[in-house]
Amino acid sequence: MKKNIFTLFFIVFSLMLIKAEVKSQSVSDSLLKIIALNPDDEKTNNDFIRQISIEMYNDPDIALISVKKALQLTQTSTNFRNITRLTMYTGIIYDLKGLYDSAFLMYDKGLTIAEERDLKIYKGELCNNYSITLAVVGQMEKSIEYALKALDIFESAHDTLLLGKIYNNLGSRYSELQYYEKALEYYQKASFINERLKDKKKLAYNYGNIGLLYYEMNQNDKALEFFQKSIMLQDTVLNKYDYSIALHNLALAYQRLNQNKTALLYEKKAFAIATEINDELGKIASLNGMASIHIVMGMPNDALEYFRQSEILAQKIGARYYLMKIYEGKANLFALMKDYQQAYDYNQKLTALKDSIMTIEKDKAVRKIKDFENEKKQQEIQILTKDSEIQRLSAKRQKIIRNSVSIVGILLLLLAILLFNRYRYIRKTRNELADKNKIINFEKDRSDKLLLNILPAETAEELKENGTSVARQFEMVTVMFTDFKGFTFLAEKMSAQELVAEINHCFKAFDQIISEHNIEKIKTIGDAYMCAGGLPVTNTTNPVDVVKAAIRIQHFMEELKIQKKSEGKPYFDLRIGIHTGPVVAGVVGFKKFQYDIWGDTVNIASRLESSGEIGKVNISESTYKKIRDQFTCIYRGKIDAKNKGAIDMYFVVV
């Protein structure tokens, strides 16, 4: 009887969905016809955006086709607000489909338009959506960075509706970082706003997130209470996406309460809807849920199959945060099945991914502001120290010159008065002048060495001869960035003297290595080290030179690590990023010279470093093409670079 009732309900529900989809599509098509006649029609564009915000949660494929047509029709429009909105919604739909690289590209395009046209509110919305997608792929540092940008914009604008969105987003980010009290605070702020605005859709989402938070805190009754409040507010026809999430949340709660059959029923409903609307993350979550339920029900082989499907999906779309839960589930399942080798392998995968997301990314996200302040203080100290040293040398040199002139004057006066002792005094004067010239030359050499510590030799000579140095364009330069993993964490465990000594030891070794490979040191910023090959004198070997130096640097760090571990002392791990391309190089400053380089090549090299792994040399495709005949490299996927699109990355076998 119950089975027949459920079947009847599902048929009626399906017919309602089909009817809603047909109606929705016809509405979008009719609006597109009006937009084609008048792309600047504000009312029609607003109606279209509202319609797309409904369609994309029920049929993202149809919604994507519609929004792309609208973008084509508005190419000649001067309504940049509308173009920015359409670009943003295209990115959101790509995100819903699990196409995260495409989503990032659309967000970047939207941000460019918003910044050029000073559309601050839309910039905030784009930053908010950027933050959500970054969290899915495990880039927690940048996710927090973009969320805080959005928060600043919405608070400045006093936009209550958008503040509700960003509060909900920040709640999710703090929950992922396991700061549950802070997460609850932001969720409650968002709920208060949406309750006041009587926005049932957003309130349902807030209640679901609060339920998940209580679920993570093992407060199961409260979790079920909020999940039920959430599903009561769901529009099951016009928002299948959120309805699928709500069903999955209920399944989690019922499983925790040992009502496994009920949990499995809800999880299967959630999976069916997620499959229908191509919600990849929803499918992953439901597959994980069904796997967990089958473990409890004593069906490990079925659970393993669900985990297998989930893992394939998560790897396909790059959902790194979800992969952690999959690896943890499979490790525990294999241990239960007494397959200890597989359990060990998945524990290793879990550890590596946790280290990347929940250690490196979490550490960076939480300490971002603190690191910035520390860096500023360090720069001030360096500037003061350098000023003091230059002033001391300048005063010393002036004193020597004054003394030399005085002595010469006295000798000349004595020579005029005491002609009878001419030979003896001439010889004495010559000897004294020779000694003073040695001192002057010694000080000059010291000044030259100090200048060479700041500038390349060719640039220093140009500066001494002409008083200025002309900026130059170099077409092929290979830039390397290094950065210590967990630097801030180790800094808290070491005294200031130990920390500076350790960094100095490493950087001295780096200086020695790059000097042997014809590479120019550019600068250090805190624990980051930057150098480049192929300047100030151009050459064709700089990609190979820099990669060789990078390998030697990683070998040095590995040997140092072994030594420190044997002594029971803390040690640094190192990431390296390398990219080859054009740069502009020159000297900036008047009293305090600084040789520096600029351009996309520098930014991409830095991006490759931050996306690398410890102990590895991460290079771009442009570098790979120039060194592949001399080194063994492993392809490792793409990375998105602003204004450059997706860039292929390779690990050099160290």
**DSSP code per residue over 436-480:** HHHHHHHHHHHHHHHHHHHS-HHHHHHHHHHSS---EEEEEEEEE
Pick one of 3.40.50.1820, 3.30.70.1230, 3.40.50.10470, 3.30.930.10 as the CATH number of 471-652.
3.30.70.1230
Mean pLDDT of successive 10-residue segments in the chain (654 residues)? Answer: 39 43 59 78 85 84 89 85 91 88 92 92 93 86 90 90 90 87 91 89 86 86 86 72 85 87 92 88 90 91 92 87 87 90 90 76 61 49 63 74 76 80 75 66 57 62 68 94 85 83 93 94 92 93 96 96 90 94 86 83 93 94 95 92 86 91
Provide the 3-class DSSP secondary structure of residue 40.
Answer: coil
Pairing, β 617-620 against β 645-652 = antiparallel
My answer on whether omega of the bond before 536 falls inside 30° of 0, hence cis, is yes
Give residues with Cβ within 8 angstroms of 106, minimum separation 6.
87, 88, 90, 91, 94
Interatomic CA distance for residues 332 and 343, integer angstroms: 7
* Number of neighbouring beta carbons within 10 Å of residue 302: 15
Quick one: which of 152, 162, 240, 223 has its CA closest to 197? 162
- Per DSSP, 359 falls in state I
Quick one: which of 165, 169, 91, 159 has its CA closest to 120? 159
Buried b (16+ CB within 10 A) or exposed e, 269-281: bbbebbeebebbb
Sign of CA dihedral 273, 277, 283, 284: negative
- Alpha carbon 169 to its chain centroid, in Å, reads 17
Query: What tokens were used for 195?
Result: 């309750």
Interatomic CA distance for residues 301 and 303, integer angstroms: 5
Whole-structure pTM over 0.75, yes or no? no
Interatomic CA distance for residues 480 and 577, integer angstroms: 6
Overall residue count recorded for the chain in this entry:
654
Interatomic CA distance for residues 494 and 496, integer angstroms: 6
- pLDDT on residue 491: 77
